[in-house]
Chain A
Amino acid sequence: MDLIFSLTLNGLATGMLFFLLAAGLTLIFGLMDVLNFAHGGLFAWGAFTGVWIYGLSGNFFVGILGAIVAGLVLGAITEYLIIKPVYGNHIQQILITLGFMLVLTEMLKVVYGPNQRAAQPPEYLDGSFTIGDVTIIKYRLFIILMGIIIFALTSYVLKKTKIGLIVRAGVMNKEMVQALGINIRLIFLAVFMVGSAMAALGGFLFAPYSGVIYAEIGLDYGIFAFIVVVIGGMGSLSGSLMAALLVGLAQAYMQYYVPSLALAVNMLLMAAVLLFRPQGLFSVKGVSTK
């Protein structure tokens, strides 16, 4: 009982991190038709920058803020320098974002040094507590809560605010949005920045969770983000949440029972979805934000 609960909690926490990473990817794809292979790099940058600022300030939430700011800034740079020149050309997009991923990863080593870094949750989130006979690790619970908050916030913005409506309208018909007098480029930029900030936040939350971070986490976790986005359906936020939790749970259980096959199972899942249901498991219409 304790084991199953613990694995489930672990899986949900992992899933929430995947969600934070996949959310930006799926929105960027839905709106801009751009698959950003550098997205994982922002996750890694968020992790290192957040941990650095957390270390400087001694305040975990300042670290969170730092990661988010880093994500916003890097997102803006990425959109402006890397994505903008190649809108509408898929092959060039794939090539250039992949190249940028390399640069981001290597730059990380230049800025923060090539070694891995340890990270700890703050005292008040460290340790665990027990209810009945189950043990709950505080930090995992915290990640799940953060995931729920971010999902709720994003859903609210997309459903209720004007900018959210414009983003959803843009997913459906970019030309019409422009013909109504809206500068879709600015919307692209905003979505790109927010999506990158979510990835960076995910990276920072990941750091104390895994205990150690290294430059290649971008590449390693970027793959999970792609798996999630494919399974959830490109462009679907709630689809990504469901898929992220599914992949997170699969990962947690596999890692406990058959650790050697954990990644392979998720890869196979993605391959199967791509081959048999390329629009994703949770997406009804292919592109939807519901």
Chain B
Amino acid sequence: MMKTLLKVDEINTYIDQFHILQNVSFEVKTGEVTVLLGRNGAGKTTTLRTIMGLNSASSGSVVYKDEDITKQNTHHIARKGIGYVPEDQGIFADLTVGENMRVAMQKEDDATKERMDWVLNMFPDLKKFWNKAGGQLSGGQKQMLSIARAYINENDLLLIDEPSKGLAPIIVEKVMESIQEMKEKTTIVLVEQNFYMASSIGDSFYILDDGMTVHSGKMNELKDDEVLKKKYLGIA
């Protein structure tokens, strides 16, 4: 039995007066890639933001490594080893690629250098455009930079929000490759609309609909479940 790294238990989140998350619960096992699926507006992004403490849950709990982090500040949560790649990538536009990495780095030890080598090896574009302003990068490069920023620290969990969104297929392949390699070292929660990508790297899945967790299981089961796919994901 694999260990539970993150447990989200019945969280409710409001944005203004809108009840976005309604009793969302799921578990993330160490070493797995857990995929959150669901239509636009189902609450996937809000779920990740609530875990990070960027939105606050009005009830329920988020437990990470057996510690309740629900009410903690975002920076504390990040320091506990959770990396976040937001939907809009969150690149600091006026800062260069190198400066973006420098802001992200929490330490400058050998392990960080090792990860930096891996990052530059995986995404040679970042090395090439090291001194270019983040705002001038292409969409794919921004995605790579955002992933690199989250990976550079000693994180045990990465929350990655729709990395394939708006990218050319060839870039999607590259991003997938990187996630597949990162998977060896860290646990990942992935929000993804691209079912091909989700199904080829995911281990288990949860489906959100209207702010509720409506289904869960192993990825390989979902692949063959045409009814479920059609009902919640609009895939024939």
Contact = CB atoms under 8 A, between A and B. Distances in A.
B149 interface: yes
B111 interface: no
B86 to A, nearest CB: 7
A269 interface: no
Interface in A160-176: 162, 165-166, 168-169, 172-173, 175-176
Interface in B55-84: 73-75, 78-79, 84
Contacts, number: 62
B41 interface: no
B102 interface: yes
B121 interface: no
A178 B127 CA distance: 25
B200 interface: no
B177 interface: no
Contacts of A179: 52, 54, 74-75, 78, 84, 86, 90
A289 B75 contact: no
B104 interface: yes
B75 A165 contact: no
Interface in A250-290: 288-290
A175 B74 contact: yes
Contacts of A173: 90, 92
Nearest to A289: B94
A168 B93 CA distance: 10
Given A173-B92, A179-B54, A166 B103 contact: yes
Nearest to A163: B103
B233 interface: no
* Chain B interface extent, by class: 20 to 34
A183 interface: yes
Nearest to A181: B78
Nearest to B99: A165
A177 interface: yes
Interface centre among A165, A176, A289 (most CB of B within 10 A): A176
A180 interface: yes
Nearest to A159: B99
Contact of A183 (B75, B99, B104): B75
Contacts of B131: none
Nearest to A287: B94
B94 A172 contact: yes
Nearest to B159: A179
Contact of B75 (A168, A172, A184, A290): A184
Interface centre among B92, B93, B104 (most CB of A within 10 A): B92
B79 to A, nearest CB: 5
A181 B106 CA distance: 8
Contact of B103 (A162, A183, A289): A162
Nearest to A160: B99
Given A165-B95, A169-B92, A288-B94, A178 B73 contact: yes
B107 to A, nearest CB: 10
A198 B75 CA distance: 29
Contacts of B149: 180
B103 A177 contact: yes
Interface string B161-181: 000000000000000000000
B163 to A, nearest CB: 16
Interface of A: 162, 165-166, 168-169, 172-173, 175-184, 288-290
22 contacts: A162-B103, A165-B95, A165-B103, A168-B94, A169-B100, A169-B103, A172-B92, A172-B93, A173-B90, A175-B90, A176-B90, A176-B92, A179-B52, A179-B74, A179-B75, A180-B78, A180-B106, A180-B149, A181-B75, A181-B79, A181-B106, A288-B94
